Amino acid sequence: MIRLSPAASAGLRDIAPILLGLIPFGLITGVSGAAAGITAVDMVFMSAVVYAGASQLAAVSLMGASAAPWVVLLTVGLINLRFLMYSASLAPWLQRYGPVARGLIAYLLVDHTYALSVIRYAKEDDSFDRRDYFLSMGVVVWLQWSLMTALGAVLGTQLPPALHLDFAVPLSFLALLVPLVTTRPALVAAVTGAALAILLAPLPYSLGMVIATLLGVAAGTVTEAVVSRRPRAEASSPTEPQGRAPEPEGRAPVSEGRAP
């Protein structure tokens, strides 16, 4: 038997309940890949290399819609920009570890490993092995994600067209989107993005989707500036790493079942 450090065991205990909720997301991403014409092997390759669920789903759906390669890359980059914020937030806790450990932690950084770690790191002192805590969770989530996307990709190619699996892609995006719309600026960002994406849909290479996204983000940011100026000026310290702009409900864009 492998003996786990106390921090690693704590990580496994904390991640266990979340693993169950991640099963369907991995399966759906794999199935969607198959629906978009991505082979199971390529899907497994993508899970290992990109390892970021929502962006994998987006990449697969854009590839299925014959988007230009640069549109796919830009979209993946945009969706995964949140990792910059997670990285900034965890960095101060990890300075004492070597580059290999930090590189591994960076690779395994997803919504849920991030969320559990920031909470735990703030509670423990320096005797707590933050690396072991993170890596134990990260490895388990990675294994499960790889297995589930592979299983979904294999299942997806075996299923008959009468099941309308191509509908799975927009449907899963909708299921990811709705729980994110909890504040007025987020609603404005989503509605602007949706409306412009429909208006600009005739543009080639899914270019309209990129423009719609950027203007949607701009609309959300402007709305936030307007909304936060009016009632109470909620101070968010610019020096605090995870200090996201004022979010009244305090609900981060991390929802159940939405990792990696």
Q: Tell me which residues in 112-171 interact with another protein (CB under 8 A).
A: 163-164, 167-171
Q: Which residue stretch of 4-12, 71-79, 116-124, 143-151 sits at the interface with another protein (rule: CB under 8 A)?
A: 71-79
- Residue type (1 letter), 156: G
- Residue type (1 letter), 234: E
Q: Are 77 and 54 in contact (CB under 8 A)?
A: no
Task: Decide: is 248 part of the binding site for another protein (CB under 8 A).
Answer: no
Closest by CA position to 249, among listed 190, 201, 186: 186
Alpha-carbon distance 259 to 113, whole Å?
9
Task: Decide: is 212 part of the binding site for another protein (CB under 8 A).
Answer: yes
Q: Which residue stretch of 5-13, 119-127, 135-143, 219-227 sits at the interface with another protein (rule: CB under 8 A)?
A: 219-227
Task: Decide: is 83 part of the binding site for another protein (CB under 8 A).
Answer: yes
Considering the complex, what minimum distance in angstroms separates the CB of residue 19 from another protein? 14
Task: Decide: is 81 part of the binding site for another protein (CB under 8 A).
Answer: yes
Tokens of 64: 């299925």
Q: Are 204 and 62 in contact (CB under 8 A)?
A: no
CA distances from 173 to 5, 13, 54, 59 (A): 38, 30, 8, 12
Task: Decide: is 29 part of the binding site for another protein (CB under 8 A).
Answer: no
Q: Count interface residues toward another protein (CB under 8 A).
A: 104
| Residue number, 91 or 143, with CB nearest to another protein | 91
Q: Are 31 and 152 in contact (CB under 8 A)?
A: yes
Using CB under 8 A, which residues numbered 177 to 196 contact another protein?
A: 177-181, 185-187, 189-196
Task: Decide: is 59 part of the binding site for another protein (CB under 8 A).
Answer: yes
| Residue number, 9 or 177, with CB nearest to another protein | 177
Tokens of 194: 């949706």
Q: Which residue stretch of 6-14, 138-146, 152-160, 242-250 sits at the interface with another protein (rule: CB under 8 A)?
A: 242-250
DSSP state of 163: G
